[in-house]
Amino acid sequence: MTNPVDRFRTVLHPLSKTLRNLPHYRHTEYGLILSCTALGIGVGFAVYIFHAGVSLSESFFNRFFVAAESNPLSVLRFLFFPLITAFGGLLVGILNQTVFKKIEQENLAAVHRAVKEEEGIIRGRASLKAILAAALSIGSGGGAGREAPTVVLGASLGSTLGRVLRLKTDQLRVLCGAGTAAAISGIFNAPLAGVVFAVETVIGHLSVQSFIPLVISSVMATATSRLFLGDRPILITPGLVTITLQDYAFLALAGLASGGVALYFLKAYSWSERRVRLNLAGVTPYLRPAVGGLGAGLLVAILPTMLETTYEPVNLAILGHGTLLVAVLTVLLKPMSAALTIGSGGAGGTFAPAMKVGAMFGFAFGYVLQYFIPGTSPGVYALVCCAAVLAGTYRMPLAGGLLVFEISRNYGLILPLMFVSVFATFLVHRTGVRTFNPSVSK
């Protein structure tokens, strides 16, 4: 008869062996998958915290906006908006020069550099600076988007987790890419686009070893963010859209035209940012974001579509409720608005501004086309050009189309979205202009 103690030891032996070998599992593929699962959940929750921070900042500054709108004197109301945005910039300047004085402003290029050249190391304080400064910049009416700080946050969490687990350099780089994918997936509720975005902009290549962790972190981040933020599409479309074979000729034209708009965005932003940095070189760093905020706020006072706290202008364009003049002015001025915020020391990115410019251009394109082709829907062109300009400015034909497809959930547009994105990217590629994508910036 078997001794009960011996039977207990027999059952316990595999478990004890597993526990003894647990430190070694972190260097295996199984350990990397578990790490990416935890990372995805963590990034999804961090996206929620950042979203709440931007909303809190927006609510604070909205009190002043409401007071400005209720002012019976239109001149004072016009002047009040820039002052609010300048105040937000002042807070950013104080934050940058006190709490984070020795920390550089990180962006997508810094994440790519960390993965390719710096063994996947991104400091946690850099991401904290990015999200706090972005919350103040965006909430007060700045012209930059929230996607770049989120990417820095996700990649930083991946880097931190990898260093805590003492992973190898290759695994650390994969975790940075997985954090990037999780960040885009979480903030946009778009897991496919998150994976492809990380491949096209940060990692630069695709392998089985990196693809599986990217997918896992992306899915877990999306599931976590949905738990807190809901599962509603960001872009509102009127319904399933049917595209005929004859429409693809005009879609090709729209794609090439969107490539031209992407080139304008890149050139205008680059020139404006250089001018802002040059002109503010003699201003104390404490006040530079305030001066940039003043300029961005002036544009908001002229054109409320410059605000980056909402996708309402894009949705109005998609639903065909925009006006041609507002659309054209937004296309022309939005690159300057983003450059004023980022070039002066504020935080944010160019991802959402590029989408907005694309949607406004698409609406204008469809608006004009309907006079020649009755029945043309400006809203459809707003949606497809939104993807095309984004794809062109970042030279990421797959991620641009997939992102707009996932955030609109209009299955009838997946083919035209990819079609126009390829045309826009091709045109930008042929010109050799430097884009916002650090993987293919030259």
Report mean pLDDT in 10-residue bins for the chain, 442 residues. 53 48 61 87 93 88 67 62 88 87 76 79 82 88 87 91 84 89 93 92 78 92 92 79 83 96 95 91 88 90 81 86 90 93 88 94 94 86 94 93 91 90 94 84 54
265 and 215 within one domain:
no
Can you read off the two tokens belonging to residue 115? 């993965």
CA distance 116 to 100: 25
- For residue 9, being part of any structural domain is answered with no
Contacts of 283 (CB under 8 A, 6+ apart): 291
Domain that holds residue 435: 247-440
297 and 175 within one domain:
no
CA distance 270 to 433: 11
Select from 170, 198, 229 the last residue of a domain: 229
138 and 30 within one domain:
yes
CA distance 198 to 180: 6
271 and 135 within one domain:
no
CA distance 88 to 21: 52
Q: How many domains does the chain have?
A: 2
Containing H/E element for 397?
helix 397-408
- For residue 236, being part of any structural domain is answered with no
141 and 40 within one domain:
yes
335 and 424 within one domain:
yes
76 and 30 within one domain:
yes
β-bridge mates for residue 145, sequence order: 349
Question: By the 8 A CB rule, do 379 and 366 touch?
Answer: yes
- For residue 240, being part of any structural domain is answered with no
Q: What is the pLDDT of residue 24?
A: 58
263 and 224 within one domain:
no
- For residue 358, being part of any structural domain is answered with yes
Question: By the 8 A CB rule, do 232 and 311 touch?
Answer: no
Q: Give pLDDT tens digits for 84-97.
A: 889 989 999 999 88
Predicted model pTM: 0.89
Q: What is the pLDDT of residue 194?
A: 93
Sign of CA dihedral 63, 65, 70, 72: positive
Question: By the 8 A CB rule, do 331 and 357 touch?
Answer: yes
277 and 215 within one domain:
no
270 and 204 within one domain:
no
Q: What is the pLDDT of residue 231?
A: 85
Select from 199, 229, 259 the last residue of a domain: 229
358 and 285 within one domain:
yes
Q: What is the pLDDT of residue 11?
A: 47
Q: What is the pLDDT of residue 262?
A: 96
164 and 79 within one domain:
yes
Q: What is the pLDDT of residue 8?
A: 45
- For residue 235, being part of any structural domain is answered with no
Can you read off the two tokens belonging to residue 282? 């003699």
Select from 196, 229, 262 the last residue of a domain: 229
- For residue 17, being part of any structural domain is answered with no
- For residue 14, being part of any structural domain is answered with no
- For residue 234, being part of any structural domain is answered with no
CATH number at residue 318: 1.10.3080.10
